[in-house]
Amino acid sequence: MSKIIIFGNQKGGVGKTTLTCLCANALSQAPFNYKVCVIDNDKQKSIAEARNFDLEDRTETTVPYTVLEFEIEELQQQIQALDKEYDLIFIDTAGKLDTQAAIENQEITKAIMYCDYLFLPFRAGNFNLDASLQYLKFLLEVQEVRSDSPRQLKILGFVNMYRVRSKVNDLLISEIKHLKEGGVSFMVNRLGNYTIFEDVDTLTSMYDEDTNHTGKLNFTVWLNEFIKLISNG
């Protein structure tokens, strides 16, 4: 049985796709070497396109992990087989909720239905709190719908694109307090705003225990916590 993981937040541009690639790139290669699959279920197809781009002009055909471009129906058909085949499955989707539709009919619910872990990237400012709180309320309802399932959905928040000297940092602390009161645990480690994360591809691992690069070191420490969290049950 695999671990099925999704980065989710209805707020756009918080790092869902970036974190999916950073984690898949690192966890599929040394020192981890997990068998990883990324399901690109986002209509933007950013990961599938990035993988095609990464393979252009390359003669070798080996890749660290599989990228599958799936509509929700294909995901529903294939997930059981993939669950047997892979150690880790990441699903990248658009986050937008359809507030008109019943919870079980929402596209996003159909993807989250299979997940063991939802990691909620959170960024301070820009009216992110209301969107995240609304999303959290939706997730708690999904958890409720799934309460009879042997696989429980664990929800964990983390700060992405943190800036050390930022006017919004005081706000960030109170926003996280709100989210915690809303029922989400937060990772201790934050991911900073680093240009190397903007250039993420679908091949290169940024995990490096011996690095002097602050961005890579930040990701390495963050990923160590991430692994601990997904290893606990």
Ligand X SMILES: Nc1ncnc2c1ncn2[C@@H]1O[C@H](COP(=O)(O)OP(=O)(O)OP(=O)(O)O)[C@@H](O)[C@H]1O
- The residues of the shown chain that bind Mg ion, judged by CB under 5 A, are 16-17
Question: What are the Cα distances from residue 189, in Å, to 121, 137, 157, 184, 233?
Answer: 12, 24, 10, 15, 20
The least CB distance from residue 46 to Mg ion, in Å, is 6
Query: What is the Cα–Cα distance from 113 to 225, expressed in whole angstroms?
Result: 24
The least CB distance from residue 218 to ligand X, in Å, is 8
The least CB distance from residue 60 to ligand X, in Å, is 26
x/- binding map, residues 97-136, to ligand X, per CB under 6 A?
Answer: ----------------------------------------
x/- binding map, residues 135-174, to ligand X, per CB under 6 A?
Answer: -------------------------xx-------------
Count helices and strands in the chain by DSSP H and E runs: 8, 7
The smaller minimum CB distance to ligand X, of residues 17 and 109, is found at 17
Binder to ligand X among 2, 4, 6, 17 (CB under 6 A)? 17
The least CB distance from residue 42 to ligand X, in Å, is 6
Answer positive or negative: Cα dihedral of 38, 44, 45, 47: negative
Counting contacts by CB under 6 A, is residue 18 touching ligand X? yes
Query: What is the Cα–Cα distance from 74 to 82, expressed in whole angstroms?
Result: 11
Query: What is the Cα–Cα distance from 194 to 163, expressed in whole angstroms?
Result: 9
- CA atoms within 13 A of residue 31's CA, in its CB half-sphere: 8
Record the tokens describing residue 98, joined without a space.
Answer: 């359809």
Query: What is the Cα–Cα distance from 3 to 167, expressed in whole angstroms?
Result: 37
Lookup result for tokens 């099925």: 4
Counting contacts by CB under 6 A, is residue 57 touching ligand X? no
Return the DSSP state at 5. E
Q: Which of residues 182-201 bind ligand X (CB under 6 A)?
A: 191, 193-194, 197-198
The least CB distance from residue 160 to Mg ion, in Å, is 12
Q: Within the chain, what is the greatest distance between any pair of CA atoms?
A: 52
The least CB distance from residue 47 to ligand X, in Å, is 9
Query: Footprint of ligand X on this chain (CB under 6 A)?
Result: 12-18, 42, 94-95, 160-161, 191, 193-194, 197-198
